[in-house]
Amino acid sequence: MKAPRLIPIVITFLSLALIANFDTLISTITAAQEVPQITYVGCATGNEIPPPVNTDYEQAIVELTNQLRDSLGLPPLKRQNDLDRAARYHAIDLAQDDYPDDTRTPNFSPHHSHDRVNGELVQVCTFGDRIIMFYNGRTAGENLAYGYTSPQAAVDGWIGSPGHYDNMTSTGYWEIGTGYAYNRDAYYRNYWSQNFGRRSGVFPVVINLEAATTENSTVDLYIYGSDNWDEMRLRNDGGTWSDWQPFQSELTWKLGSQGGERTVEVEMRRGDNTTSSSDTIFLVSTGEPTTEPTTEPTAEPSPTTEPTTEPTEPTVTTEPTEPTEPTEPTATTEPTAEPTPTETAVPAEPAVRLSHNRGAPGSFITVWGDNFPADQEVVVLVNGTPIYTGTTNAAGTIEFVLNTTGAEAGFYTVTLRTEVNTAALEEHATFVLSSMAPQYPQDGNSNTDVISVPGGLAADIQRAYLPYVARQ
């Protein structure tokens, strides 16, 4: 074993307070498990489902991060499954390939994916290449830590590093994913990963700072979207909706009274546009009788700074209705055949598709907008900058090609914007340009408009992550 590598960490007053809150949790966490016997070769495909090595460790990282944010008056981050998969994938890869170590090449970054080739680490794709395969976000970031033996120690290491601290406290991120891996034969043994992000058009709901459990059915909600929505209504476990009320980011809410997994769903609207989001928490039954859940929120607490997170897909159950009493038939004629119920067609939702979600600068990427209003003008924006205006056809479809020649490496969000009944309609898709990705030529369809992506629009992924913090 190589000599331990120590990096001094400044333990702040805040981090000591967080330690006090997690003494009980950390004392109950079992010994670290070995990294799964999975070999990741090449760049991720996004189809991987990396198994968690220690779920308690991962949840502790989320809760500690949100406690930090709450102490600063910042909105909590929403834990998101795709970011969890991305973070777990990289943590496992770090542990399996044992990096960084003395064999790394100049300009080595542990945020990029590497394989061991003849004992040396060889880069196979960048951070941007990897994250975009799992997470269709408009921005993303990453923190890594090696050698720390508990979630608290890893978080303290990040708190003591200005760049990592900035990632944890950024209001530009709305969601978080975490990963942990252990390999007794690797140099640092313990590997920790945080991935951050924000997706367009998603507005998360967070219960109790994203805690896993609660013993109190009265909880605190944080709801993102104050700039986008005017009204909202809420319900428990697929039950009865509350009345519509003015949108507010923070409120106290009463869960359903029974113990177990409880779901809070929020529907938001502005004009004819609506969206919904939800969160779940496990209510630990204490044996005490509780009052029935209410659909009316309690008094509004003071708002925090502008939200920036993303919701998971709602898990909705439906309350069973009481069966009606059968009545005596009033007709004496023979019953006719049972009528065949007809199904009401559900209109397809507008969506944006891309021919490729990653490619080298200079690639041609075809964009399709589907299920938009027919014969409607559509403005196309790339990272918020309008670059093209087109019109949907009679089927509500629009197609064009982006020429990325001259565009820099980085993240790009394509937005298609139009109006429905004077209300704005926007749909988004994201791609990344990277020198490690294939270059895709124009497909030869001469009937499709080709739009050049101007230089200077890339989201700066070089600022999305920072050097790891390490401690033995």
CATH number at residue 74: 3.40.33.10
Residue 175 forms part of a structural domain: yes
Res. 295: pLDDT tops 50:
no
Bigger pLDDT: 273 vs 347: 273
Res. 290: pLDDT tops 50:
no
For residue 259, what are its two tokens?
């113990």
**Residue 446 burial class via C-beta count within 10 angstroms: exposed 0-12, middle 13-18, buried 19 and up:** exposed
Question: Which of the four pLDDT bands, split at 50, 70 and 90, describes residue 102?
Answer: low
The greatest distance separating any two alpha carbons of the chain, rounded to the nearest whole angstrom, comes to 94
- In angstroms, what CA-CA distances link 227 with 78, 249, 250, 269? 18, 10, 14, 11
Residue 429 forms part of a structural domain: yes
Chain segment 146-189, per-residue pLDDT in tens: 899 999 999 999 999 888 999 999 999 999 999 999 999 888 89
Domain boundaries, position 386: 351-459
Give the range with max mean pLDDT: 31-40, 219-228, 407-416: 219-228
- Is the separation of the CB atoms in 225 and 268 below 8 Å? yes
Q: Domain ends where: 261, 283, 305?
A: 283
Residue 302 forms part of a structural domain: no
Residue 468 forms part of a structural domain: no
What single-letter amino acid sits at 340?
A: T
Res. 209: pLDDT tops 90:
yes
278: how many CB neighbours lie within 10 A of its CB? 22
How many structural domains comprise the chain? 3
One domain, residues 219 and 259: yes
| CA atoms of 87 and 398, how far apart (whole Å) | 35
One domain, residues 42 and 190: yes
For residue 154, what are its two tokens?
């890893």
One domain, residues 184 and 235: no
The CATH number that applies at residue 227 is: 2.60.40.10
| CA atoms of 267 and 320, how far apart (whole Å) | 21
For residue 26, what are its two tokens?
């950390």
- Cα angle 385, 389, 392 (rounded to 5 degrees) comes to 130
Among 86, 84, 82, 79, residue whose Cα is nearest residue 129:
86
One domain, residues 224 and 276: yes
One domain, residues 18 and 92: yes
One domain, residues 209 and 193: no
Question: Which of the four pLDDT bands, split at 50, 70 and 90, describes residue 112?
Answer: confident
Residue 469 forms part of a structural domain: no
* Count, residues in the chain: 472
One domain, residues 49 and 168: yes
Q: Domain ends where: 262, 283, 304?
A: 283
Question: Phi and psi for 245 in degrees, rounded to 5?
Answer: -145, 160
One domain, residues 175 and 224: no
One domain, residues 144 and 264: no
The CATH number that applies at residue 414 is: 2.60.40.1930
- Is the separation of the CB atoms in 381 and 369 below 8 Å? no
Bigger pLDDT: 77 vs 420: 77
The residue written with tokens 């970054």 in the block is 109
One domain, residues 20 and 99: yes
- Looking at residue 23, its pLDDT comes to 37
One domain, residues 251 and 221: yes
| CA atoms of 133 and 129, how far apart (whole Å) | 7
39: how many CB neighbours lie within 10 A of its CB? 10
Sheet holding 250-254, edge to edge: 205-207, 218-223, 250-254
- Is the separation of the CB atoms in 241 and 232 below 8 Å? no
Bigger pLDDT: 309 vs 357: 357
Residue 222 forms part of a structural domain: yes
Q: What is the share, in percent, of the chain residues with pLDDT greater than 90?
A: 41
One domain, residues 91 and 59: yes
Chain segment 244-283, per-residue pLDDT in tens: 999 999 999 999 889 999 999 999 999 989 999 999 999 9
Average pLDDT over every residue of 55-67: 97
Residue 17 forms part of a structural domain: yes
If residue 83 lies in a helix (H) or strand (E), which one and from where to where? helix 81-97
The residue written with tokens 């313990």 in the block is 190
Q: Domain ends where: 199, 230, 260?
A: 199
Residue 130 forms part of a structural domain: yes
